[in-house]
Every structure is written in structure tokens, then in C-alpha cells.
Amino acid sequence: MTGTSAPANRYPDPDGSGGQRYWTGSVWTEHRLPPPPPQYHPYGSYGPAPSYGPAPWKGAQIGRPAEGPGALANPGRRLAARALDWLLLLGVFVVLLVVTLLIAGPHFGPIFPTVNADDANNQVVTPGIVWVYLTVAACGFVTGLAMVAYETVATAKFGRTLGKAWLHIRPVRIDGATLGWGRSFGRAAIGWLAGFLSWIGLLDPLWCLWDDKRQCVHDKVADSIVINDPGRVGNADPTPLAVSAHELR
């Protein structure tokens, strides 16, 4: 049986214990799940305990460990990563707004024009403050588009945005595969469109607080989850190991 490079995930422990062990993609870690305890069945047979009731932790039902590398990312870290990404784009918004106001501002007219009721030739003048509001809204819209482009390219090409990289988390498909361009764009676009729904749009980023897979709404649409970075943790094996195709079945 030839060896193959397997993605980071939990696989049958090569020690033959019947449990699972976390594979980082290059080495085995010490994060293990014990084998299910035997349970007495009718007619005197024994076997694994049936899986009744809720999963013992979020992500257990999709083979994710309770904590450590490969576990579902904490919602607080997810929200913090998104805030960091928005702070990066805040600079784009400020520069775009300042440049636009410097160019178009002199043509806005008085911010609050004075209206003389006795002037027969009085014309309706759009207050300059209206143009300021429209300029801010337009710059916000363009910044949102830039955010969608940034998140799509960063996720599809590099696996995650800078905010997620700083907090050591990354989005992947539920089966552990990387996200392609379509799913990366879908996640980013849905997150941006949710912002137009006022307070209802908050359900998208906050959904991971109570979801059993810690998915936001955009994750459910893209069939994605966000996990902690796979890596060497604890007393990991010092040399890389190959996972055989037989162990991956």
C-alpha cells in the first residue's frame, strides 16, 4: 500500500487502539480520542455504544476534536478576526472619503443654505450636507466591494485573511478541503450583503454562537467551517509520518 499526503484531520490511531488521533498534515500529535466503550447488546453480543443524544462537544459529529489544532474556532476569535479585517479596510474607506471630499466638496455648495421667503426668484437648492451623506454612503459601498474582493482573493489563494492569520484560524470545507474561488466569494458576498439588513444582518456573524458546528449563515451557504490552525502541539512526533490510503478509509 503506497503512502499519501492526507489533509489535517482526525484519523484512526496507527497504534491500533481503535481510537482516533489528530494528523496535522505532516506529523501525528498527542491529541487523541479514545475508542467508544463496548456496550452489552441483546443476545449477549458486544459492540460500540450507539450514538444517542447530542454530540459531546461542538464539532464532534463531523470528526473535529474538542480543542487544539483542527478544532472548531472559538466564536470570540472569529469575531475578533473579522474586526481586524474591517480595521484594515477602514484605512481604505478614510483615504477614499478624504480624496472624494477634496475633489467634489467645493461643488457641494453651502452645507445649510439660507432660504429667503421674500425672494421671488428663490430656487430650491440641495443642501451640501445631503451631498456629504451621499458621498459617505458611496465610499462605504465601494469599501464593502473592496472587502468582498480582499476576502475572496485572500481565502481562495492563501487560505485565509490577515485577521484570521493573526488569530491562527482558517476556513475550510466541512470535509477539510480548502475553499475554492466560488465558495470564497459566496462567504464574502453574503457577509457583505447581510450588512444591508440592519440589525437582522447581525444574525449572520452571531449565528456561530449557538450553532452546533459554530457556522455563521455564510458558512452554511458555502458548506464551510472555521477551525484552529493545524500544527504541531504538545509532544508531537519529531519526524513526519505518511498516512496510508488504508488508514484514510
pLDDT digits (tens, 9 = 90+) for 100-132: 988 887 877 777 667 655 555 556 667 778 888
Residue 31 backbone phi and psi in degrees, to 5: -80, 105
Read off the C-alpha cell for 22: 489528530
249 has pLDDT over 50: no
73 Cβ contact partners less than 8 Å away, ≥ 6 residues apart = 169, 214, 226, 227, 228
Query: Which pLDDT belongs to residue 118?
Result: 52
CA dist 69 and 217 (Å) reads 23
Q: What is the band of 246 on the pLDDT scale with cuts at 50, 70, 90?
A: very low
- The pLDDT value recorded for residue 129 is 84
The pLDDT > 90 percentage for the chain reads 36
State residue 84's pLDDT score.
94
What are 86-104's pLDDT values in tens digits?
A: 999 999 999 999 999 888 8
Phi and psi dihedrals of 169, rounded to 5?
-130, 160
**d(C-alpha 118, C-alpha 56), whole Å:** 78
Among left, alpha and beta (phi > 0; psi -120 to 50; other), residue 68 is: left
pLDDT at site 93: 92
Q: Residue 139's pLDDT band (boundaries 50, 70, 90)?
A: very high
Name the DSSP letter for residue 21. Answer: E
How sure is the predictor about 36, in pLDDT bands with cuts at 50, 70 and 90? low
Contact 71, 64 (CB under 8 A): yes
pLDDT in tens, 151-160: 999 999 999 9
